[in-house]
Amino acid sequence: MRIFSKELVSEATRVCNVANLQTATIGEILLVAQYLEKKTGIPFIRMDQGSPGLPVNAYGVEAEKAALDRGVGSQYPAAAGIPELKEAASQFIKAFIDIDITSRACIPTTGSVAASFGSFIACTQRTPGKDKVLFIDPGFPIQKSQLRVLGIQWREFDVFKFRGEPLRQRIEEELQKGDIAAIVYSNPNNPTWICLEEKELQVIGELATRYDAVVMEDLAYFCMDYRRDLGHPYEPPFVPTVARYTDNYILMLSSSKIFSYAGQRMALACISDKLFDRQFPALSARYHDTGIFGPTLIASILYMITSGCTASTQYGYAEMLRLACEGKINFVEDTREYERRADRMKKIFTGNGFHIVYDKDVTQEVGNGFFFTLGYGQMSGGELLEELIGYGVSSISLSTTGSLQQGIRACTSRMREELYPVLQERMQAFNQDHPIN
């Protein structure tokens, strides 16, 4: 039976000013869950917000403390970033992706959100007529919210039916229109945990070069495809990337998940050297500078957004990257707990009538990690989200991520040992109350 009555859930949505629970944002779902917890004292199983659920990396904390003790807090950081972080980033990319990017083209940003915000601006302003963004969905809803703020238009498609070779035709249909400035996706994918495979990345890279579009590759869950033995510095297998197949790319590397450093808001926008050095007359005319992509992005765009990144946090991130390159931090093993949680959670759900929506990559089953997707019978994603709220489980609908499939996104980060039997009990009740014909 339900834990929270429909009347109580309606009260929560009304008090929290949520217009429609079925299409609610992550923040709105969070408010409703918190209201119900506070009202009843009954804890939720939180599968909504993708916030790290592991301890912060201690090496970063100590390096940041040491930087503050040295007095770095009294000076503005350089807009391009401190040399120590830029050099560590260049080495980290070489160690784990086997791609060469010079340190000058590795730019610290206040989280990947700032990296994408600034990159959207630079990419859509560099060439007249190329002013739209193409999303390979499902994806991170915040990025479309950024485009709304900026007044930039976009197009999108759900990759579900276009894996493998069909991906080429689907992307080219969009690029042939001539107005796509950038292509965006995450790999591993938020929200589905699918991973674009090497041949698919090659297709994207080749088309990006042919049609002069910049690929913005979001690597927030770096090395977290646990099906492969990634994470050994300077040893294969290396992380798959579009950077092997085009010079038109920006890699976004966040410290939030791999080092559980989310609270410090630190990431990197790593630009291919050729794109970094390309000169665009449209950028020069707009910003009254050289119009060279990298310097314009740093000084005329990113600096206007955040005025640089917190100096002490840059030292913390630099130390974590450096130690990872030396093999003294095994961040892949540190985060593998998410794989174990996903495996246990999936078994509970599928044992109680649920199914995995995005269940396969091109050649193998989707792995276990930070996210997974769930469907239930013929319920729409919004209906499933709303019903699960009544059983003390919060999530987000796949429809809010650009997906055309019916289901929800589940996040493993907040799962705790004592909640597994609770989840089993609640999902068993859900299954009994919602028999599948």
Instruction: Report the CATH number at residue 189.
Output: 3.40.640.10
- In whole angstroms, give the CA distance from residue 301 to residue 289: 12
Query: Which helix (H) or strand (E) segment is 409 a member of?
Result: strand 408-411
331 is a domain residue:
no
CATH number of the domain within which 391 lies: 3.90.1150.100
198 is a domain residue:
yes
1 is a domain residue:
no
330 is a domain residue:
no
Question: Residue 14 pLDDT > 90, yes or no?
Answer: yes
Length of the chain: 437
Full-model pTM:
0.96
CA distances from 361 to 162, 189, 199, 340, 419 (A): 11, 11, 12, 20, 30
Structural tokens at position 435: 């028999």
- Please provide residue 117's backbone torsions phi and psi, each rounded to the nearest 5 degrees: -60, -50
Is there a cis peptide before residue 138, judged by omega within 30 degrees of 0? yes
- What is the DSSP pairing of strand 214-218 with strand 180-186? parallel
Strand partners, 46: 394
* 352-393 pLDDT per residue, tens: 999 999 999 998 999 999 999 999 999 999 999 999 999 999
Structural domain ending residue among the three candidates 276, 299, 325: 325
* 236-294 pLDDT per residue, tens: 999 999 999 999 999 999 999 999 999 999 999 999 999 999 999 999 999 999 999 99
* 406-433 pLDDT per residue, tens: 999 999 999 999 999 999 999 999 999 9
- In whole angstroms, give the CA distance from residue 157 to residue 401: 11
124 is a domain residue:
yes
Q: Is the dihedral of CA 211, 400, 373, 47 positive or negative?
A: positive
* 386-405 pLDDT per residue, tens: 999 999 999 999 999 999 99
Residue 125: per-residue pLDDT: 98
**DSSP one-letter code for 57:** P
- Please provide residue 140's backbone torsions phi and psi, each rounded to the nearest 5 degrees: -80, 110
- Exposure letters 118-145 (e unless 16+ CB within 10 A, then b): bbbbbbbbbbeebbbbbbbbbbbbebbe
| 242 and 382 in a common domain | no
Do 288 and 145 touch, CB atoms closer than 8 A? no
Structural domain ending residue among the three candidates 276, 305, 325: 325
Range of the domain at 362: 6-42+336-433
| 261 and 118 in a common domain | yes
**Average pLDDT in the 308-320 region?**
97
| 340 and 321 in a common domain | no
| 399 and 356 in a common domain | yes
The residue assigned the tokens 């996706």 is 185
| 195 and 65 in a common domain | yes
| 240 and 211 in a common domain | yes
Residue 50: per-residue pLDDT: 87
| 301 and 363 in a common domain | no
Residue 161: per-residue pLDDT: 96
- In whole angstroms, give the CA distance from residue 82 to residue 79: 8
380 is a domain residue:
yes
Structural tokens at position 312: 């002490």
410 is a domain residue:
yes
| 181 and 90 in a common domain | yes
| 357 and 319 in a common domain | no
| 91 and 150 in a common domain | yes
Domain count, the chain: 2
73 is a domain residue:
yes
- In whole angstroms, give the CA distance from residue 195 to residue 362: 9
Structural domain ending residue among the three candidates 302, 325, 348: 325
| 73 and 184 in a common domain | yes
| 421 and 311 in a common domain | no
